[in-house]
Structure formats: C-alpha cells, structure tokens
C-alpha cells in the first residue's frame, strides 16, 4: 500500500493520477462532487474531505512535545514550517485499536484552525458524488461518523472532524454559542422571520439552531443535508404565497451528504421563485478558494465556523439592513 507522506494535498492528487487537469474538482463549482483522502486505522477505512487537508507527513519525522493538562485526545504539539499545532491521536479519540504500521499525520485546516490527526496510513484519493455519500446510521449518541461511502465491498467512514475539534478546543464551542444580546425591538423583528438551516453535523446543527433561537430567530427549520433542505424549499416555492413569508434566508454548510451547500445554492439561484432568497454559507471550509466559489454561485455572505456572532450580524444585515457596528 502506497502512502504519500510529505506531499501537499494537490500533490497527492497528482501522485495517484487523479488530477486530469490543473483545475480538477477543487476548482469546480456546484457539481455536487468532492474528493476524499482515504486513510486507515487498524482494519477500518476512514475518509476526510481533501479540501480540509494541507499535507500528509510521516509522524516519526516530527517530535511531539507533551502539554500538561491537555485534552486526553491530544498527544502534544508538533511544529511544521514554523507553525506549532496540536496532534490528535485519532485511534484514541475513536476508541479503536491502531496498528504497528508506519504512522502518518494528516495536517488539516478546519475552522481556520490548524491541527494534525495521527493515523496508521494514508492510501489514496477518491472522487465521488455527494449523492453517493449515505448518512451514517444511528448507532449511538457518541458516533463520530457523519456519512459512509461504499466502493464495492469496501466501506469508507466519513468522520465528523468539526465535532472532534470542538471537543478538544473549548473556544470553538464558546464561539458557537456566544452572541451579543440584541435590543428588544430587533429581537422582536427576528422572531417573525423564517430561517432554513442545512448542517450535517448533529452537534453543530443543534448548537446552531439553539443559538439562533436564543438570539430571537424562533422560526428555524434545520435539515441534515442539502437535499432535505432543497426538497423543503422546492415545496415552499410551489405554494401560492409571497416567498418572503415562507422563507426569509437560508444558512447552509458546504460539506454535506446527498447534496452539498454549493449545489444547494446553485439550485436556489436557478429557481424563479427562490432566486432572490439570501443564502449564507456557514462552513469550516471557508478559505480564499472556497470564498471565490461561493461568490461565483451568488452567495450573499460566507462565514467561517464557529463565528456565530458574525453570522447573526450578517443575518440582521441581509434581512433588516442592520449593519453591526465595527469595533474601534
């Protein structure tokens, strides 16, 4: 089994012959396709969206410094190109046995946060459609799997990396639940607006919905993927009523099973009734390249998780024209 230690994500693509042209899937928009880096822990195959991966490195080449009172999942800190970042022992986090094979570190950027994940090996990259990603079966509250992809008899489990990061970094949860209290009249106006949310992570979906409720946005319809959200929006579009009275704004993640947020945005913009409904991308994948994609598709705003306060401020601006005052 070949590994690709020391190669950046796009170099991995070239190394396995998956990038037929320089644009590749990473530069396409609204195709409802994505690529996953497949990696192994023990005898189980897992996957992570290639858009989150910055590099794959050999663990033995990077000394780890233990940190006192660190989270139990954290082995310590390692340094890559002058940047220190935590290392999550993924077998320990998942409570599964690793192997004695050579170890790799998957270096990721998620929620504008650099963090490494220790795995047994990294094998290859797959290009798949979000339609082929099935929601994870409900096997318990602590399941960290958000979806599964089948390749013949082989099953690759897509992990909820956002939730893992939120567990090891309390600041993430704080930013997802902390917002500035609005004046009574604005809170009253919020209470009349209908918001649709598409977010596949159960923990983040619940946190987002609860925080929006607490801020005054009482009418929130949460969905676990873009397909469910689109089916609901399409049904609303068929009703004989002003669309603004049925849905005022859509907040969507990008990375979701069945249909991703870019595809959902593209469908909304192509629908005569829904065309002008504001859409905000709220995702851990917001970076320069993803922001360009969202702009091309017509996103009204893009906020990197977990900045819920920024999200609520943007919702107020798009719905009411209320711009949040900038700090001095």
Distance CA 202, CA 309 (A): 20
pLDDT value at position 328?
Answer: 34
Question: Residue 136's pLDDT is what?
Answer: 74
Q: Is 269 exposed, middle or buried (0-12, 13-18, 19+ CB in 10 A)?
A: middle
Show which of 106, 137, 168 is a domain's final residue.
168
- One domain for residues 181 and 112: no
Calculate mean pLDDT across residues 8-29: 45
- The answer on 208 and 125 residing in a single domain is no
Q: Do 246 and 178 fall within a single domain? A: yes
Final residue of a structural domain among 121, 144, 168:
168
pLDDT of residue 21: 39
* Contact partners, residue 54, CB within 8 Å, separation at least 6: 8, 9, 107, 108, 109, 114
Q: Quick one: pLDDT band at residue 142, thresholds 50, 70, 90?
A: low
3-state helix, strand, coil in the chain (%, to 5): 35, 30, 35
Residues 122 and 201 in one domain: no
Same domain, 235 and 254: yes
Task: Identify the burial level of 313 via C-beta atoms within 10 angstroms of its C-beta, where 0-12 means exposed, 13-18 middle and 19 or more buried.
Answer: buried
User: pLDDT tens digits, residue range 235-274?
Assistant: 999 999 999 999 999 999 998 888 889 999 999 999 999 9
Q: Contact at 8 Å (CB) between 253 and 283?
A: yes
What is this structure's pTM?
A: 0.72
DSSP string of 149-171?
A: EEETTEEEEEE-HHHHHHHH-HH
- Domain for residue 326, yes or no? no
Assign 275 to helix, strand or coil. coil
Is there a single domain that holds both residue 36 and residue 159?
yes
Residue 137 shares a structural domain with residue 183 = no
Q: Is residue 150 part of a domain?
A: yes
Which of 270, 267, 99, 295 has the alpha carbon at shortest distance from 198?
267
Kindly state the average pLDDT of the residues 202-227: 90
What pLDDT is stored for residue 166 in this prediction? Answer: 82
Q: What is the C-alpha R_g of the chain? A: 20
Is position 294 within any domain? yes
Q: Are 3 and 122 spatial neighbours (Cβ–Cβ below 8 Å)?
A: yes
272: number of Cβ within 10 Å: 8
Q: State how far the Cα of 51 lies from the Cα of 148, in Å rounded to an integer.
A: 18
Q: What is the pLDDT of residue 305?
A: 80
| pLDDT exceeds 60 at position 158 | yes
The residue ranking higher by pLDDT, 231 or 285, is 231
Tens-place pLDDT, residues 21-35: 333 444 355 567 778
241 exposure class (CB count in 10 Å sphere: 0-12, 13-18, 19+): exposed
For residue 307, the model assigns a pLDDT of 82
Residue range 169-190: mean pLDDT, rounded: 78
Residue with tokens 């099953």, as numbered in its chain = 155
Q: Is the pLDDT of residue 293 over 80?
A: yes
Predicted pLDDT of residue 100: 65
Same domain, 180 and 222: yes
- Nearest alpha carbon to residue 119 among 239, 217, 5: 5
The mean per-residue pLDDT over the stretch 108-131 comes to: 87
* Together in a domain, 94 and 222: no
Whole-angstrom Cα distance, residue 159 to residue 94?
10
State which of 111, 140, 168 marks the end of a domain.
168
> What pLDDT score was predicted for residue 127?
87
Count structural domains, the chain. Answer: 2
Cβ-contact 226, 195 below 8 angstroms: no
Q: What is the pLDDT of residue 3?
A: 44
66 has a pLDDT exceeding 90: yes
Mapped onto helix, strand or coil, the DSSP state of residue 302 is: strand
Where residue 308 sits, what CATH number does that domain have? 3.40.50.2300
315 and 191 share one domain? yes
Which residue range forms the structural domain that includes residue 214?
170-320
Res. 115: pLDDT tops 90: yes
Q: Tell me, yes or no, whether 283 lies in a domain.
A: yes
**Do the domain assignments include residue 206?**
yes
Phi, psi of 13 (to 5 degrees): -55, -50
Q: Which CATH number does the domain housing residue 125 bear? A: 2.40.50.180
Strand pairing partners for 27? Answer: none
Q: Is residue 121 part of a domain?
A: yes
Indicate if 119 and 197 belong to the same structural domain: no
Residue 306 lies in a domain: yes
Higher pLDDT, 271 or 287: 271
More confident residue, 208 or 2: 208
Q: What is the pLDDT of residue 28?
A: 52
Locus of tokens 């609520």: 312
Position 325 in a domain: no
Answer yes or no: do 107 and 212 share one domain: no
């Amino acid at each position: 089994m070949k590994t690709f230690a020391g190669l950046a994500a796009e170099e991995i693509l070239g190394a396995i012959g998956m990038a037929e042209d320089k644009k590749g899937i990473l530069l396409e928009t609204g195709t409802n396709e994505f690529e996953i880096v497949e990696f192994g822990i023990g005898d189980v195959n897992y996957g992570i969206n290639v858009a989150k991966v910055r590099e794959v490195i050999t663990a033995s080449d990077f000394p780890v410094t233990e940190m006192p009172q660190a989270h139990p999942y954290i082995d310590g800190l390692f340094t890559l190109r002058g940047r220190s970042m935590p290392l999550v022992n993924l077998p320990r986090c998942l409570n599964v046995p690793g192997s004695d094979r050579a170890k790799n570190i998957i270096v990721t950027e998620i929620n504008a946060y650099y963090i490494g994940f220790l795995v047994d090996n990294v094998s290859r990259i797959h290009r798949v459609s979000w339609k082929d990603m099935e929601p994870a079966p409900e096997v318990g509250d602590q399941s960290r799997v958000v979806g599964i992809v089948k390749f013949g008899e082989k099953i690759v489990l897509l992990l909820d990396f956002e939730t893992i990061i939120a567990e090891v970094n309390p600041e993430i949860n704080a930013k997802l639940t902390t917002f500035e209290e609005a004046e009574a009249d604005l809170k009253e106006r919020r209470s009349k607006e209908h918001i649709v949310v598409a977010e596949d992570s159960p923990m983040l979906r619940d946190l987002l919905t609860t925080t929006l409720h607490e801020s005054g946005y009482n009418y929130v319809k949460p969905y676990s993927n873009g397909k469910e959200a689109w089916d609901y929006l399409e049904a609303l579009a068929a009703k004989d009523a002003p669309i603004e009275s049925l849905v005022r704004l859509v907040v969507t993640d990008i990375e979701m099973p069945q249909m991703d947020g870019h595809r959902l945005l593209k469908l909304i913009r192509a629908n005569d009734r829904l065309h002008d409904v504001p859409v905000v991308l709220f995702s851990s994948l917001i970076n320069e390249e993803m922001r360009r994609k969202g702009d091309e598709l017509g996103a009204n705003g893009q906020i990197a998780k977990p900045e819920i306060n920024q999200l609520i401020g943007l919702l107020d601006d798009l719905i009411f024209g209320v711009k949040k005052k900038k700090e001095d």
